[in-house]
Amino acid sequence: MKQKPRVAVFDFADCEGCELEIADLEEELLDLIDIVDIVSFREVMKEHSDTYDIAIIEGSIMRPMDEQRLLRIRSKAKILVALGSCAAIGGVNKIRNQWMPDDVMKEVYGETNLKGNELFNVFRTKALNEVVPVDYYIHGCPIDRDDFKRIITALAIGKKPEIIRYPVCVECKKNENVCQFELGRFCLGPITRAGCKAICPTHNSPCDGCRGLVKKAEADCVKEVLERYHLTYEDIRRRCTMYNYGREECQVDEE
């Protein structure tokens, strides 16, 4: 029998909500344990091993010490998976990149002198792929459990997971939702990658783009939505201030 791949779960700057989504799989988690061997997962177990095949990482990189830790994890992992928005695109943590790190520290901690304390030695927030090569991404804030199971199952049996390249609008139409633009709201669904089952618009809230942006060519399938409301891809991308801060930083190349 082929040995099950050894999986380790790590976190950096995040709320750990994506890890909770994994823990909340409950009985379905047992199905995953049948095909992978979880050797480290601080959220749910005490055991830890530095020998693993697949590293699943939540959180963005905020400090030099985080960067060095990530490099060590990458050196041991055959496959590295970015888990959730913070890891995949920097998440909400990148909002602070519009200010200099020293200014952010002063705003949060006042005049307290934290120089020389490595715990507070911060730089501009980075997604994982700005530090190390990332093999696969599980998008969302938090992740979708079915999306997680699909990708991890594919990796466990040696297959390449299917990459979703169409926008949230496609799933919105499948759900027969009233378009958020029709309701007078601004929605990032036309340029945000799908895979969440359009959960926010389905619950009457516009998409904020937490799963990262599709490329302009991949948004052509909903081009009529943009034209109907006199918008362009660039018009919408300029509204990416929560999850995709920065013009060049909001693209995720997975090929």
DSSP 137-157: EE-BTTB-HHHHHHHHHHHHT
Instruction: Give the residue, 62 or 108, on which the prediction is more confident.
Output: 62
Backbone angles phi, psi at 53, to 5 degrees: -100, -40
pLDDT, tens digit, for every residue of 12-59? 999 999 999 999 987 788 788 889 999 999 999 999 999 999 999 999
Provide CB contacts within 8 A for 27, sequence distance 6+. none
Nearest Cα to Cα of residue 137 among 72, 74, 71, 79:
79
- Kindly tell me if the per-residue pLDDT of 1 is higher than 60: no
How high is the pLDDT of residue 68?
A: 97
Mean pLDDT on 95-102: 91
- Kindly tell me if the per-residue pLDDT of 253 is higher than 60: no
Residue identified by tokens 């359009």 is 198
Q: What ranges make up the beta strands (E) of 12-110?
A: 37-41, 54-58, 79-83
- Kindly tell me if the per-residue pLDDT of 251 is higher than 90: no
pLDDT, tens digit, for every residue of 104-145? 888 888 877 777 788 888 999 999 999 999 999 999 999 999
Mean pLDDT on 59-64: 96
CA distances from 201 to 81, 83, 182, 185 (A): 27, 23, 12, 10
Helix, strand or coil, per DSSP, at residue 225: helix
How high is the pLDDT of residue 252?
A: 46
Nearest Cα to Cα of residue 240 among 184, 190, 180:
190
- Kindly tell me if the per-residue pLDDT of 245 is higher than 50: yes
User: Domain extents for the chain?
Assistant: 6-156, 168-237
pLDDT, tens digit, for every residue of 66-87? 999 999 999 999 999 999 999 9
CATH class of 6-156: alpha beta
Two tokens, residue 128: 């994982």
pLDDT, tens digit, for every residue of 149-200? 999 999 999 999 998 999 999 999 999 999 999 999 999 999 999 999 999 9
How many helical (H) and strand (E) elements, i.e. helices and strands, does the chain have?
Answer: 10, 5
In this structure, the strands spanning 54-58 and 79-83 are parallel
Backbone angles phi, psi at 251, to 5 degrees: -95, 140
Can you tell me the distance from the alpha carbon of 159 to that of 100, in angstroms, rounded to the nearest whole number?
42
How high is the pLDDT of residue 118?
A: 84
User: Any idea how long the chain is?
Assistant: 255
